[in-house]
């Protein structure tokens, strides 16, 4: 069986160790000959890499391993680029969340003004990765889950239309795992779904088991009462995420025929989100205090002791969708997966040039999107507004246009007026000087 070479871009990510453990767990279906880490922050990456090196030496000594900040070393001789960078890291995420809140608008990693600010930083970073891949390993595929995926995907559609890049999100996977549990199935892979929308902005229209039995009634009944919180607790989740899964109950009520993505709460209940936010302590603070602290201290402990048992790192089982995607390409598995792809008529009554999240059959030539048909006015209206926001952000980045970015923030359903949008934008420009193009 062929063995593959992978570079993880954003090697210093809090998710990297969990992904390494997941890759090791999946070596039978996705054999590896080399793993490389690439990051532009040498110090951050080294803490993660040294621990991963110990884990790899213990568990899979045959896999070649290196970590580097040199693009040529990182991107030469690779089959897959797994990209999860965060341009500006958590301190900038904190600003994305706190600045809008100062103006009474919700502060979120990928939604509203915060997501727009993050998008303006990510576009250049992800395009740079695509360029390195095309230069040093032109036959490779990039599996991108760097956020904000919707804006990044639109930017690559516009600026790198022929790049071998697949944009994917784990939110539907997390929600489907909960749906499977609610329906009494062992795994979400025992379900076949129809879904349409934008990234972090979509709806399930059909959920069946593999025999074709409709699972929607049982899931609907549960969600109407409990949102996506299963009766028997699964893996532990932080309170803020639990609230989001529970709030799906209210999001669902807007259209009981479908099942919503949890992120729609930010667009449909922005007032609720603001009321339940602490402007001095947002999700970025929680992540720095928990995930980042835990992962980095576990890595330091492993490195200090020289053995993997010295620190507790959790395998990221949800991330096995990345292996599903890589094997679909590598072995032409024709697996059905939700990906962010150009609409091109899949949603019949929606912009063909929009990047939409829909089921695709994935094989060695990439994704073949399935037709999701005509969508109702409620969803179409919301999606048209949101896709215009995402397109305006990309145009603002390309043209360095203040006006288009102001229009984008104004058009976000999370923002009450052009006045508020301008005030937020001016504050965001101040703190993003090192990352955004200078706007005219």
Q: Annotated active-site positions, please? A: 170, 263
Q: Which stretch binds ligand NAD (CB under 6 A): 56-64, 168-176, 236-244, 397-405?
A: 168-176
Does the protein bind ligand NAD through residue 145 (CB under 6 A)? Answer: yes
Q: Is 294 annotated as a binding residue?
A: no
Does the protein bind ligand G6P through residue 171 (CB under 6 A)? Answer: yes
Does the protein bind ligand G6P through residue 243 (CB under 6 A)? Answer: no
Q: Which residue, 255 or 335, is less far from ligand NAD as judged by CB? A: 335
Which of 171, 136, 133 lies closest to 150, judged by CA?
171
HSE of 77, CA atoms in CB hemisphere, 13 A: 10
* Among residues 5, 108, 137, 147, the one that binds ligand NAD under rule CB under 6 A: 147
Does the protein bind ligand G6P through residue 287 (CB under 6 A)? Answer: yes
Q: Is 200 annotated as a binding residue?
A: yes
Cβ atoms 238, 244 nearer than 8 A: no
Q: Which residue, 314 or 399, is less far from ligand G6P as judged by CB? A: 314
* Among residues 7, 8, 18, 39, the one that binds ligand NAD under rule CB under 6 A: 39
Beta-strand ranges (E) seen in 348-434 are 355-363, 366-369
| CA dihedral sign of residues 133, 109, 319, 197 | negative
| CA dihedral sign of residues 369, 249, 200, 186 | negative
* Chain positions contacting Mn ion, by CB under 5 A: 169, 171
Token look-up 């479908």 returns: 258
Q: Which residue, 169 or 409, is less far from ligand G6P as judged by CB? A: 169
Report residue 427 CA to chain centroid gap. Answer: 26
Which of 413, 296, 332 lies closest to 52, judged by CA?
296
* Residues forming beta bridges with residue 338, ordered by sequence position: 359
Does the protein bind ligand NAD through residue 262 (CB under 6 A)? Answer: no
**Helices 171-182 & 216-226 angle (0-180, nearest 10):** 100
Label the pairing between strands 259-260 and 201-209. antiparallel
Q: Which stretch binds ligand G6P (CB under 6 A): 3-11, 39-47, 168-176, 189-197?
A: 168-176
Q: How far is the CB of 103 from ligand NAD (least distance, A)?
A: 23
Task: Give the whole-angstrom CA distance, residue 162 versus residue 146.
Answer: 19
Which positions from 68 to 107 touch ligand NAD by CB under 6 A, shown as an x/- string? ----------------xxxx-xx-----------------
Token look-up 């784990």 returns: 170
* Among residues 170, 190, 250, 255, the one that binds ligand G6P under rule CB under 6 A: 170
Residue nearest ligand NAD (C-beta atom) = 12
DSSP letter (8 states) at residue 345: T
Q: Which residue, 60 or 237, is less far from ligand G6P as judged by CB? A: 237
Residue nearest Mn ion (C-beta atom) = 169
- The region that residue 400 occupies, defined by phi over 0 for left and psi between -120 and 50 for alpha, beta otherwise, is left
For ligand G6P, the binding residues (CB under 6 A) are 109-110, 147, 169-171, 283, 287
Q: Indicate the annotated binding residues.
A: 93, 147, 169, 200, 283
């Amino acid at each position: 069986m062929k063995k593959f070479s992978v570079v993880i871009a954003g090697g210093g990510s809090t998710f990297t160790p969990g992904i390494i453990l997941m890759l090791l767990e999946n070596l039978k279906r996705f054999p590896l000959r080399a793993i490389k880490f690439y990051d532009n922050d040498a110090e951050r990456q080294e803490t993660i890499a040294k621990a991963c090196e110990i884990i790899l030496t213990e568990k899979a000594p045959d896999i070649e391993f290196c970590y580097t900040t040199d693009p040529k070393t990182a991107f030469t001789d690779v089959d897959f680029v797994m990209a999860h960078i965060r341009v500006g890291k958590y301190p900038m995420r904190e600003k994305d969340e706190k600045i809008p809140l100062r103006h009474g608008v919700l502060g979120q990693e990928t939604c509203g003004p915060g997501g727009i600010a993050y998008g303006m930083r990510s576009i250049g970073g992800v395009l740079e990765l695509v360029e390195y891949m095309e230069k040093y390993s032109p036959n490779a595929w990039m599996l991108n889950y760097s956020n904000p995926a919707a804006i990044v995907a639109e930017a690559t559609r516009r600026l790198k239309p022929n790049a071998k890049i697949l944009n994917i999100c784990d939110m539907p996977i997390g929600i489907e795992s909960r749906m499977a549990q609610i329906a009494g199935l062992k795994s979400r892979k025992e379900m076949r779904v129809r879904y349409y929308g934008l990234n972090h902005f979509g709806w399930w229209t059909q959920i069946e088991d593999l025999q074709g039995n409709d699972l929607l009634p049982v899931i609907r009944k549960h969600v109407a009462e409990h949102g996506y919180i299963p009766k028997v607790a699964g893996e532990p989740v932080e309170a803020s995420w639990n609230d989001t899964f529970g709030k799906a109950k209210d999001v669902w009520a807007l259209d009981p025929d479908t099942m919503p993505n949890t992120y729609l709460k930010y667009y449909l209940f922005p007032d609720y989100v603001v009321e339940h936010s602490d402007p001095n302590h947002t999700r970025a603070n929680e992540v720095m205090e928990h995930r980042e602290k835990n992962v980095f201290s576990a890595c330091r402990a492993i490195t200090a002791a020289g053995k993997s048992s010295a620190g507790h790192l959790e395998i990221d089982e949800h991330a096995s969708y990345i292996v599903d995607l890589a094997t679909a390409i590598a072995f032409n598995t024709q697996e059905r997966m939700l990906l962010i792809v150009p609409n091109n008529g899949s949603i019949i009554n929606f912009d063909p040039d929009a990047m939409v999240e829909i089921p695709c059959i994935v094989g060695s030539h990439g994704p073949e999107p399935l037709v999701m048909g005509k969508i109702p006015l409620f969803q179409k209206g919301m999606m048209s507004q949101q896709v215009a926001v995402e397109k305006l952000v990309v145009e603002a980045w390309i043209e360095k246009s203040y006006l288009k970015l102001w229009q984008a923030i104004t058009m976000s359903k999370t923002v009450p007026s052009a006045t508020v949008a301008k005030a937020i934008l001016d504050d965001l420009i101040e703190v993003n000087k090192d990352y955004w193009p200078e706007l005219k």
